[in-house]
Every structure is written in structure tokens, then in C-alpha cells.
Structure 1
Amino acid sequence: MNLLLHDYKQPPSKPAAPGKAWRWFALGLGLPLLAIAGFSTIKSAPGSNQANKAVEPDTIQTDTMEAALSDTLRIAEPFPQFINRPAKVAHNAFHPPLILPEAPQFDVVSHTIKSGDTLEQVFRRNKISLADLAAIVRLPEAANHLKILRPGDTFEIGHNEGQLMSLYRELNLTQSLQISRNDDGFLAELVERPIETVRRNAYGRIESSLFESAASAGLQDKLIMNLAGIFAWDIDFVLDIRTNDDYYILYEEIWQDGKFVTTGEIIAAEFNTNGRTFQAVRYVDPEGHSDYFTPDGRSVRKAFVRAPVDFTRISSNFNPNRKHPVLNTIRAHKGVDYAAPKGTPIKAAGDGKVIFRGRKGGYGNAVILQHGGNITTLYAHMSSFAKNARVGKRVRQGETIGFVGSTGLATAAHLHYEYRLNGVHRNPRTVQLPQADPIKQKYRSEFMATAEPILNELQNYKRTQIAAASFD
């Protein structure tokens, strides 16, 4: 037992070499000596200790090798740390970088067309080749889309030191024009942009105003403007609506590439105000004409709108005994004054023909329209006239004929609007307005079949909202 204890006793440690160079030198010298020592031990056994040979013939050899190897490895401490990390060496192996072709570099100009703009002006302003402009205008696929520009149209024009490289224009929601330079000159393509139409429902209750109710319901202004436009012939949305009036809308949303784009058409709507209910459903006839109708096929439109301008307030109502603010005398006010900022568009109240345009005494700049049924309308105090509102020209309901101003006897910018039947002034806000044409008889059965399921869908939504409100 003493021999075994002695044989496996750890030999004393040797001092390490003072420097890394000596460690590697010792390692190089120690490994051959270790091999020689092991060979010599096998050939010459100790002569005085037979018991040791009988009990553990390999003990001295193993002990000597372990001791020698232990001493050698202690001298070369960093070596095991190096040889035990092959995976990291392989993982960090050098790979040549991937070289991609260089992307073409050029400047991109984004431009929104303003009134009077031409592409030639845009190219000159940005110092882009007019010869390139002439070349793309000659392309059959592009010619019509570059010659006719509308205010608000946007272009993205890529150029490199004055040389045209590309041009992009959105023509409409579903189509765009793309022009690019190639080896042969220019290539023009009409690119389709598919859209997805999704049906949505909306509900709102009036607390203070229509637009505040829409904002609290998370609805877009465009949707509410369309709603007001549908019922504008029956409801004055500035003066008529009351707290707790409510509305229900079935409408479309337009999505493209998984992103919301805009609010689409209102399919059906209901507005409840002051104990009255108004309903409308959109119908497109086989001829492609679309309009809104009541459930029984009558047009929701009237031949005239109540207010031919987007106004902030009524500054003076129809009043036969009003005191004139400028003349300071009792003088009948034979129309309605709608206060609005200078320059606000004034629209034709109904289809008609321009029979007067010009300066008219205290009315200032004025336009008079002749309508059917011996009805005339007058629009006064304009700052300027629309180009299309020329004497003898026919205009459509809602078409701009001039702009709000304060010409003539006026203390501030507003529209003075008069409605005359057989030469007699009537209150524009209360006069019984003639109806527009109903559904054509030949389309009536198709309309009824189309409108019924749509209105049922709107009513089902209304019932769910009423039920939900009863639990609040």
C-alpha cells in the first residue's frame, strides 16, 4: 500500500519558464525527451523491487509519463487553450465579400402641378433636357398622359446631370405611367395597380356638431362630407341638426398593397334628425349613371340646393323688414347672406343658363341664372367670376360660377343669395324645392331588387348598435 501511495504521489511543481518563447522551446524539447524516457523505462526495470513489478508492472511508467507530461503542459500553458478551439477557427474562416453591381445613381424631382404649369416649365426649372422631353412626348403610350395636365397631378422625374432617366405619374387609383431610359431611347408602360374594395359600417351620434361626432367615431372627413352631400337637399347641417341626432352608414374602403388608401362610395345611409328619418341608397343603372335614391325610387336630390356655398354661418336671414347695415334704413332683405372666407367657391344652386354676369349696383359683382319653371337665382358680392360662367352658357348644379367677396354694399366677405319664382322673392331656406327626376321606369324593378338587400344590411347594423347602446 505504501508503494502504491508513493507511486501515485504528485511530483513537486517546477517553476514555469519566464517567457513565452522559452515555453515553446521547452515544449519542443520536452516531447522528444518524453518519448525517449518512456522507451528507456520499458527496457530497464528497477532490480531491487520485484514486488513492485508483480503488483503494478506499468505503474512507474504511467506515473513517470503523467508527471513528465504534466510538467511539460505546465510550461506551455497557452497551448491547450489554442488547440481546444478548432470550431471558432473554422467559424471565423475568411470568405471573400459579395460584390454587387452598382445601382444607377440619379436625382429624383417630385413635382405637383399648379394652375398654368406645363411639363416644359418643370423641365426648364430643373435643368432637364428638353430634347428628352420631346422624345417621351412622342411615345404613343405616353403622349396623351403628358399633354393633358391637371392641377394637383404629381410627377416623379429622375435625371442625371440634366439627362432624363425616368418619369413616373399616377394616372388614377388603378393605373400609373412609367417611362425609363434604355439603350434604344425611352420605354413607356402603363402599369396596372390593383385595388381591393372592403365594406364597412359606421355610426355616429351628434353631441355638438356633425364633424365632431365623426372625429370621435374615428371617421374620415371625406366620408362625412359625402354623407352631408347626400342629404343636403333635405337637411341644413349647420342649422337643422340637434343633439342626439344620429346616423348609420354602409360604405366602401379602398385598399392597395395591404394598405388603406381612401374612403370609397357610400352604399347606403340613414340620418335621423328632429323626429324625421332620411334614407338613401346608391344605384348605378345599366347606362352607368349613378345617384342616390330613397327606398321607393325617388331621387334624394332636389332641383336646387339650399345653400350654394360652404359657409361658416348665416350672417343675415330672409327678412322683409330688416334694417340695412350700410344704408341704416329699413330695407327688405330678399335673400340669405352666407358668411364665408374671401375666395370660397360659389356653386350653381341648380342646372341653368347664365343670363347676367357683371357689376350690378349694390350687389357688386353678381351672376344671375335662369332655371326651368320660371325660377331664377342671384349670387352677389363676388370677388371674381369663374371662367365658365359666361352669359349664355349652361351650367350644372354644383358647378363653380364665382368666388366669395365683399364687392358692392357689403361690410364683410359673404354670399348674398336670392331665389325668385315667377319674379317673386322666396325664402331660399324654406321654399318648397322641385324634385329631381326619379328612377327611370324601365330600371325600377332592377333598382328595387338591388336596394332591398342593401337596406336590410344597413338596418341589421342599426339594430346591433341600438342593442349595444342599451347595455351601456
Structure 2
Amino acid sequence: MKKTVARLPRRHQVLLSSVCAATLVLLLLPSEPATASRHSAEPELEGEQLILGQRYQLQLELAAQEAAVAATSEPEVRWSGYQIRSGDSLARIFDMMGFSPQELYKVTRDKQSERLLRKIHPGDTLRFAQDPDGELVQLAYQLNATDTLIISKTADGYVSEIEQKAVETRPAFAFAEIKTSFWNAGIDAGLTEQQIMSIADMFGWDIDFALDLREGDEFSILFEKKYADGEFIGYGRILAAEFVNRGNSFQAILHDNDRYYTADGQAMRKSFLRSPVKFTYISSSFNPRRLHPVTGQIRAHNGIDYAASVGTPVMSSGDGKVIASAYNNLNGHYVFIQHGERYVTKYLHLSKRLVKNGQRVKQGETIGRVGATGRVTGAHLHYEFLVDGVHRNPRTVELPKAESLAKTELPRFKDIANQRLAVINDNKRVYLAMR
């Protein structure tokens, strides 16, 4: 490069040196701050020069501004609650909360509101929402764990609706072994009273819960537990159950029609109940050569005595027609019922008869109450079962066969039954292995 410059004429060398010097001077001079123009929809920023690296406060978009203004302009609502006490009335509650009788009248003009608010009772809570002027804009009343009555003020007056929480059901399992009594076994297994009675009703056509149960009998159930917002709110249906009584296994599975069937699709419900009273202690069983407790003579005891307190309800064990409802010195107050052509059931020593001759009765209908009338030594029900005029043991007599599901329903039902019984068996094995 130097050799090339040296070969140039003198005047060219001078000119080249001058250009280089000028260029160097321009590079070393300070420049103006760098700027950039910004195009904006805001008039106050139009054409403004923006300095790089400096922060600017940007305005909200028009929609966001309007939303913020609307939010700040909404009237504030104040909520307050009132827990109902004994002796409270709606009029008193509204007055104590600062609302006029006219507001109460307007609220209860809605028929649903008026009907449901009449059902308030001590311990319930009413929640009131007021605007800044003190007017009632909404009232909430929780009816149960899932339903809440919401009463809202509108341009046309107060209107109500039922707000419902979504309910989730989860399967649960329980196992119990009878040691002292069926009832105690159920309680020890964590079952509710309603669940225990449901099990007795479910198997009441096959098992006499007052007489047939023995220590060592066991039962397992698969049932529903209900949840709302993740919180337990109660129990649902029993989906399936198994009862082992004296080595015999009885199974019941719930079908879509809310009836229980055996695993092969036969209805659990039969023509007769094994026992006409709820499970209680039985003082005497069927014995055709029993020594009579009053006369001391051998006399056939063609029935079963159910020892129960006076007033215990007595049920008809099957559908039928009352053929006798009367009193005599031997039987006391008694009721006889004809069931079709072949069967008759008799109920003796009642304290009260609740049916009349010729009356039609349904299975499970209360026909009288336990007493101590006639020739007896204590309060009890004497129950007899006759087939073709011959006394038969109510505990062991073969009852008419149960109905079956329609053939078209059986495949689907059996799939459900097999699944639920498999769950019961798996849980039972785990439970027994952990004991």
C-alpha cells in the first residue's frame, strides 16, 4: 500500500492526505442524540420523538378503560347473615335486619320463595345482600347440602331459583361379622341406622332376622358415598350386598329399576316375608309337641312367637284379603289373612287391630300391634303360616318362586352383577387379610 502511494505524483499524494484528514475529523466530532419517530393513535403522542432506552407510560386500550370505569361505577353490595332461633318468624327476621314489611311482601309474592321460606327452622341461616341505599337485592337460603334458594331483585320484582351443586358419587365398602346382634355388627362396621334397616329389608324375604341369625354370620355391602365440592354430604344407594347366614350365601344386586335381584336375575322380593315384625328377640319357635306354658299340657305350637314390647307394629307378610279380624278369650285380638287360594297367615294376641273383615292389604302394611291379649304369659305376637290348610314352619316353608328379569335385560344385568360382586369379593379378601 505504501509503495503504491509513493509512486503517485506529488500533488496526488497531497490531495489524498487531505481527504483522509477530513474524514477523520468528521468521525471524531460529537453527534446528536439518536431518535426515532413513533406513530400512535393517541393525539398527544402524535409526532413525538422517542429517546431510546427511556421508559414511557402507555395509555390503556379503549375497551380496558371502559371495563375499569364500569367496574368502579358498580354499586357496592354488603352481605350479612342471620341464624334463625326458636320463635323467629320471617316478619321478625326482616325487621331485625332492617327491611320493611313491604320488602317481605314483595319477596314472598314469588310462590317458590313463599313456600320454601315457610320451612325455615332454628339453626338455619338466611343471607341478605343490600345495596348502598339499604335495599334488599338478594337473599340466599341453603335448603340442604346441595341446594340453595336464591331470591334476586329484578326490574319485574323478586324472582327465585334453586342453585344446585354438582354431586359426585363414589363407591364404598363395608364388612361386618355378627358377634352379639345384627344391629351392633352394622353399627361397628360404621353403617347408619338407615343402611342397617335397608339390609334387613333387602334380605327379609329369605332370612328371618329375628330368628335365623347366628354368631359368625357376616355381611358385605357396596354402597355410594356422596360428595359436593369435595366434601362428604351423605350416603347413597346400596349397589350390591352379600349375606352369609348359617353357611348359606344370599346376594342382592341393584338394577336400573331400583329393585334388587339375585345374581342370576331373580327378584329378591317374594310373595311372603319371613317375619311379620322387624327383627327382635323370638321367645318360641315352631314346635308341634310343645308343653303349653299356661295349661302345662302338650299342645301343638303351630307357629312362632315373636317377643316384642306392646305396641310394636305387626305387618302383613304378603298381599291378601282379611278373612277374620276379631277377639276371643284364647287368641285375644287376632287377624287372619287369605293369600290367594293356598296360603293363610294368622296373627294372634294383638293389643290393637288396624284392619277389618274383607279389607285388602299389601305386603308390609301394618295390620295391628303386638299385645298380651288372650291366653298368654307375656306380650308377644303369635304367627302362623298355613299351606292348603296345613300348618307349616314359617321359617322353612318353601315360598313361591320370585320373578325373574326379562331375558332381554339379563345379559346387561349380569355384567353389572359380576362387576359389583367382584368388587365385594376383592375388598372382603383385603379386609380379612388385614385383620
TM-score in same-fold range (> 0.5): yes
CA distance in 2, matches of 1:138, 1:390: 47
Matched, 1:320 2:291: no
Shift of residue 199 of structure 1?
A: 0.7
Matched, 1:273 2:245: yes
Counterpart position of 2:367: 401
Shift of residue 349 of structure 1?
A: 0.7
CA distance in 2, matches of 1:155, 1:299: 43
Shift of residue 145 of structure 1?
A: 7.5
What amino acid is aligned across from residue 362 of structure 1 in structure 2?
L
Matched, 1:233 2:205: yes
Shift of residue 105 of structure 1?
A: 7.0
CA distance in 1, matches of 2:195, 2:159: 39
Whether the aligned pair in 2 keeps the contact of 1:311 and 1:338 (CA below 8 Å) is no
Matched, 1:220 2:188: no
What amino acid is aligned across from residue 459 of structure 1 in structure 2?
N
Counterpart position of 1:352: 320
What amino acid is aligned across from residue 297 of structure 1 in structure 2?
G
CA distance in 1, matches of 2:342, 2:246: 32
Q: SS in structure 1 opposite 2:401?
A: coil
Shift of residue 401 of structure 1?
A: 2.1
CA distance in 1, matches of 2:260, 2:87: 38
The equivalent position to 2:175 in structure 1, one of 203, 226, 242, is 203
The equivalent position to 1:332 in structure 2, one of 275, 284, 300, is 300
1:139-178 to structure 2, matched below 5 A, reads 140-141=111-112
CA distance in 2, matches of 1:371, 1:105: 57
Q: C-alpha offsets along residues 283-323 of structure 1, whole Å, 9 cap, x if unaligned?
A: 12xxxx32221111112333211111124321222222333
Deviates more, 1:214-223 or 1:401-410: 214-223
Whether the aligned pair in 1 keeps the contact of 2:86 and 2:122 (CA below 8 Å) is no
CA distance in 2, matches of 1:412, 1:402: 17
Counterpart position of 2:348: 380
CA distance in 1, matches of 2:356, 2:123: 33
Q: SS in structure 2 opposite 1:141?
A: helix
Q: Aligned in 2, Cα 1:199/1:141: closer, same or farther, shift over 3 Å?
A: same
Q: Aligned in 2, Cα 1:358/1:448: closer, same or farther, shift over 3 Å?
A: same
What amino acid is aligned across from residue 373 of structure 2 in structure 1?
T
CA distance in 1, matches of 2:277, 2:366: 9
Shift of residue 146 of structure 1?
A: 9.9
Whether the aligned pair in 1 keeps the contact of 2:322 and 2:336 (CA below 8 Å) is yes
The number of equivalent residue pairs is 342
Identity of aligned residues (%): 41
Counterpart position of 2:402: 436
Shift of residue 167 of structure 1?
A: 11
Counterpart position of 1:417: 383
Counterpart position of 1:308: 276
What amino acid is aligned across from residue 191 of structure 2 in structure 1?
L
Whether the aligned pair in 2 keeps the contact of 1:109 and 1:157 (CA below 8 Å) is no
CA distance in 2, matches of 1:402, 1:435: 28
Whether the aligned pair in 2 keeps the contact of 1:155 and 1:169 (CA below 8 Å) is no
Q: Aligned in 2, Cα 1:173/1:280: closer, same or farther, shift over 3 Å?
A: farther
CA distance in 2, matches of 1:391, 1:213: 41
What amino acid is aligned across from residue 414 of structure 1 in structure 2?
H
Whether the aligned pair in 1 keeps the contact of 2:210 and 2:282 (CA below 8 Å) is no
CA root-mean-square deviation = 4.4
Whether the aligned pair in 2 keeps the contact of 1:337 and 1:415 (CA below 8 Å) is yes
What amino acid is aligned across from residue 331 of structure 1 in structure 2?
R
Whether the aligned pair in 1 keeps the contact of 2:291 and 2:299 (CA below 8 Å) is yes
CA distance in 2, matches of 1:173, 1:396: 35
The equivalent position to 2:337 in structure 1, one of 369, 391, 402, is 369
Q: Aligned in 2, Cα 1:214/1:105: closer, same or farther, shift over 3 Å?
A: closer
Q: C-alpha offsets along residues 48-96 of structure 1, whole Å, 9 cap, x if unaligned?
A: xxxxxxxxxxxxxxxxxxxxxxxxxxxxxxxxxxxxxxxxxxxxxxxxx
Structure with greater proportional helix content = 1
Counterpart position of 1:451: 417
Higher Cα radius of gyration: 1
What amino acid is aligned across from residue 212 of structure 2 in structure 1?
D
Whether the aligned pair in 1 keeps the contact of 2:320 and 2:337 (CA below 8 Å) is yes
What amino acid is aligned across from residue 141 of structure 1 in structure 2?
Q
Normalising by structure 2, report the TM-score: 0.64
Whether the aligned pair in 2 keeps the contact of 1:358 and 1:367 (CA below 8 Å) is yes
CA distance in 2, matches of 1:431, 1:235: 12
Structure 1: gaps (5+ residues): 1-99, 112-121, 124-131, 159-165
Normalising by structure 1, report the TM-score: 0.59
Shift of residue 343 of structure 1?
A: 1.7
Q: C-alpha offsets along residues 406-461 of structure 1, whole Å, 9 cap, x if unaligned?
A: 22223322111111112222111221112221212332233223322222222222
